[in-house]
Amino acid sequence: MPRSDTATRAAELRELLNRALIAYHVDDDPIMEDAAYDVLYDELAAIEAEHPELVTPDSPTQRVGAPLSGQFQKVRHLSPMGSLEKVTTDEAIAKWADDVRKRLGTDEPVAYVLEPKIDGSAINLVYENGAFVRGATRGDGVQGEDVTPNLRTIGAIPLQMQGDAPPLVEVRGEVYMPLSGFREFNERLVAEGKPTAPNPRNASAGSLRQKDSSITAQRPLSIWVYGTGRREGLDELTTHWETLQWLRAHGFRTNPLAERVESIEEIAERVRAWELRRAELDYEIDGIVIKVDSFDQQARLGSLHERPRWARAFKWAPMTAVTRLNEILIRVGRTGALNPWAVLEPVEVGGVTISRATLHNEEDINRKEIRAGDDVIVQRAGDVIPQIVGPAGRHRRGTKEFRMPTHCPLCGTEVVKPEGEAMHRCPNRACPSRGLEALINWVMAAADIDGVGEQSVRRLWDLGIVRSVPELYRLTREQLMEVDGYAEISAGNAIEAIAASKAIPFSRVLFGLNIPDVGWVTGQTLARHFGTVDALMNATQEELVEAEGIGPERAEAIAEWFRDDDNRRLVEELRDLGLRFEAGEEERPVEGPLTGKRYVVTGTLERFTREEAEAALEARGAKVSDSVSSKTTGLIVGEEPGKSKLTKAEKAGVPILSESLLVQLLRG
Ligand code: IVH
């Protein structure tokens, strides 16, 4: 392509991709499929790789992030970012409205705009001629920290404004983490054994202050834009309401719940309505911001100590209560992490009765001085799980510091606390807590069931419908339809796929049983070597070691697994359900002249490599293993044989065969 055409194409792609981002993040009305976006993105990235001079700052490829060297720079906002005076009652709102009217003249009409007060981090974005040039945290209101690279990774922040742009405008808003993203974010932290974030506000603030913006890029952040600071060339905007419309039209994400009212009476009514709507939102709001709409009126009202007289933050009563913490119990997570949780005397917080709360880890519990038996302050934030803030007063007599149990409450194994980790863990890989992990492994890997994904397995587990592999095979279509995303047909197909998966080979069943250290390959080895689950189940450690690649430790772990009654029952249950516990054609040992014989090969052979000799023996039906036992038919020795194998063979009376005897054996 001639260069000018390439440049045109790059510009076209940039424009299209940026429009797609706005449609997706801001309008909530996507204009293209994710896959199409990816294809066009890749095309643009390829052009830019070949023509780096065509990269522009507003290219969507420039949102990926990179580490920052040094500290965040302090920057001065072009106009200060004030704060809001709080009110908590209808009377206080009425009093404020009275004051506004008195200052403006009693017969002048006043319109107000109501907006949700977003609980996130206040951000100032500077746009020059439509281009996003700098973004900073609020800081002390006069200067904040330059977090531009981090802000660039947020898809909902336009790098280039849409439409005709003024020479300069400061756009203000609140960066936040949606509750759905917050939950996933914390789940990931739990899975990684890291301390969780106490609330979405901390999570978003922490994400914005990452030194490596590629980390910020992975956090589910968004923004609600609620106003402007310094403006140049925007004289046509005379009200806050018009400004919100203007921002929206220029590609900024303004909150659709904002509304304009023309009387103070309406405010109280709207406040009630919002209180009910609050719990349904996918983000946290801690109140409502009420602003006088007209810029002229705002200017005449002015500010007092950087708090505008033209606005108030109506804040809801905090969602906290005091109740007795009865007990601290432990739940063992799927990775073995011990998660403490609180059993509370039931109490109503923000309209919901709560009786339990999550706690983080031993250190956190004791730092907050949370003790079973004390009265504690509980807090509910949005529909996030309730938290214990701390003790409500002095400790009651005899309440003690919390100590993690020394042994796993589920399997009794001694718990460990790895260096540098906050969580205690049960190291027992066969602990029943690992059931979910085992189930996911079964569905996703061992049986590889079409039409059932990890999310569905988790949902089925959470709903208590499927907690084990046998339960999976007893699942009905009706039960599956309780899981989001399943309709009659998809559920029917999934049930068929589950039933069909009963035919997976024995080796895969072994892999799926979650026997310590038995993966795909060992499953095959065991299936081939033992042929049936009965032979395997009754094998001694010595016999297990004879299978290819099974060392004494692994052999003991496998034998121990099969000695466990629960595991034996699981095998029987699965066998009754129709799963295969015998090696199939592809797994069955070959029948031949040497069937029933067992050999061990040691030392260097002249005519073949050891692997060739072993393969030749197996091809004639013999079994080959790594160690000598009383069951070994013969030890085949080459040059420099292993000393211990020789001694063992001599002791056990196992015949020692030379290479020429091996050749005769193979010839039959
Ligand atoms: S307007 C002069 N509107 O609340 C300050 N602020 O205490 C004008 N906030 O730091 C701010 N949602 O982070 C405004 N819709 C909204 C808001 C909002 C949240 C935060 C903002 C500010 C704090 C004010």
Domain ranges of the chain: 3-63, 85-315, 320-391, 432-565, 589-667
- Dist. CA 330 → ligand 1 center (Å): 40
Q: Which of 281, 289, 309 to mutate to test the pocket of ligand 1 (most atoms within 8 A of CB)?
A: 289
- Dist. CA 155 → ligand 1 center (Å): 22
Rounded to an integer, the average pLDDT of 584-599 is 81
From CA 35, how far away is CA 33, in angstroms rounded?
A: 5
Residue 555 has pLDDT above 60, yes or no: yes
Q: Is the CB of 117 inside a 6 Å radius of any atom of ligand 1?
A: yes
Rounded to an integer, the average pLDDT of 216-234 is 95
Q: Is the CB of 285 inside a 6 Å radius of any atom of ligand 1?
A: no
pLDDT for residue 498: 96
The winner for highest mean pLDDT among 119-133, 435-449, 541-555 is: 119-133
Q: Is the CB of 84 inside a 6 Å radius of any atom of ligand 1?
A: yes
Fold of 432-565: DNA polymerase; domain 1 (1.10.150)
**Contact (Cβ atoms closer than 8 angstroms) between residue 354 and residue 385:** no
From CA 214, how far away is CA 138, in angstroms rounded?
A: 22
Rg (CA), the chain: 34
Residue 335 has pLDDT above 60, yes or no: no
Straight-line distance from the first to the last Cα atom of the chain, in angstroms, rounded to the nearest whole number: 70
Q: What's the pLDDT tens digit per position in 524-534?
A: 889 988 999 99
Q: Which of 79, 84, 138, 201 to mutate to test the pocket of ligand 1 (most atoms within 8 A of CB)?
A: 84
Angle (deg, nearest 10), helices 34-50 and 3-25:
140
Distances (CA, A) of 335 to 186, 338, 414, 435: 15, 9, 15, 10
- Dist. CA 117 → ligand 1 center (Å): 7
| CATH number of the structural domain 320-391 | 2.40.50.140
Rounded to an integer, the average pLDDT of 38-54 is 93
- Dist. CA 119 → ligand 1 center (Å): 9
Residue 66 has pLDDT above 80, yes or no: no
Q: Closest ligand 1 atom, CA of 119?
A: 19
Which residue, 207, 146, 144, 149, is CA-closest to 175?
Answer: 207
Rounded to an integer, the average pLDDT of 140-167 is 94
- Residue 117: active-site member: yes
Q: Is the CB of 226 inside a 6 Å radius of any atom of ligand 1?
A: yes
Q: Closest ligand 1 atom, CA of 255?
A: 15
Tokens linked to 121: 């981090």
Rounded to an integer, the average pLDDT of 264-292 is 87
Residue 638 has pLDDT above 60, yes or no: yes
Tokens linked to 591: 């029948």
Indicate the SS3 state at residue 195: coil
Which residue lies with its CA nearest to atom 17 of ligand 1?
Answer: 117
Neighbours of 4 (CB within 10 A): 8
pTM of the shown model? 0.54
- Dist. CA 258 → ligand 1 center (Å): 13
Fold of 85-315: D-amino Acid Aminotransferase; Chain A, domain 1 (3.30.470)
pLDDT for residue 429: 67
Distances (CA, A) of 142 to 82, 145, 229: 8, 11, 12
Q: Is the CB of 138 inside a 6 Å radius of any atom of ligand 1?
A: yes
3 pLDDT band, cuts 50/70/90, is: low
Percent of the chain beyond pLDDT 70?
96
- Dist. CA 121 → ligand 1 center (Å): 9
From CA 414, how far away is CA 394, in angstroms rounded?
A: 34
Q: Which of 77, 81, 83, 283 to mutate to test the pocket of ligand 1 (most atoms within 8 A of CB)?
A: 83
Percent of the chain beyond pLDDT 90?
50
What is the 8-class DSSP label of residue 258? -
Tokens linked to 362: 């031993």
Q: What's the pLDDT tens digit per position in 561-584?
A: 899 888 899 999 999 999 999 998
pLDDT for residue 306: 86
Indicate the SS3 state at residue 112: strand
pLDDT for residue 548: 76
Which residue, 644, 639, 637, is CA-closest to 661?
Answer: 637
**Contact (Cβ atoms closer than 8 angstroms) between residue 112 and residue 289:** no
Domain formed by 3-63, architecture: Orthogonal Bundle (1.10)
Rounded to an integer, the average pLDDT of 260-283 is 85
Q: What's the pLDDT tens digit per position in 171-218?
A: 999 999 998 898 888 778 777 767 777 778 889 999 999 989 999 999
Domain formed by 589-667, architecture: 3-Layer(aba) Sandwich (3.40)
Residue 649 has pLDDT above 60, yes or no: yes
Instruction: Report how far Cα 277 is from the mean position of its chain's Cα atoms.
Output: 27
Please indicate whether residue 308 or residue 419 has the higher confidence score (pLDDT).
308
pLDDT for residue 269: 87
Indicate the SS3 state at residue 632: coil
Q: Is the CB of 308 inside a 6 Å radius of any atom of ligand 1?
A: yes
From CA 209, how far away is CA 247, in angstroms rounded?
A: 26
pLDDT for residue 161: 94
Asked which of 456-465, 609-618, 656-665 is least confident by mean pLDDT, the reply is: 609-618
Residue 634 has pLDDT above 60, yes or no: yes
pLDDT for residue 116: 95
- Dist. CA 83 → ligand 1 center (Å): 6
Summary mean pLDDT of the chain = 88
248 pLDDT band, cuts 50/70/90, is: very high
Q: Is the CB of 229 inside a 6 Å radius of any atom of ligand 1?
A: no
What is the 8-class DSSP label of residue 267? H
Strands 623-625 and 634-637 turn out to be: unpaired
Catalytic residue among 86, 117, 211, 623: 117
Residue type, 327: E
Residue 383 has pLDDT above 50, yes or no: no
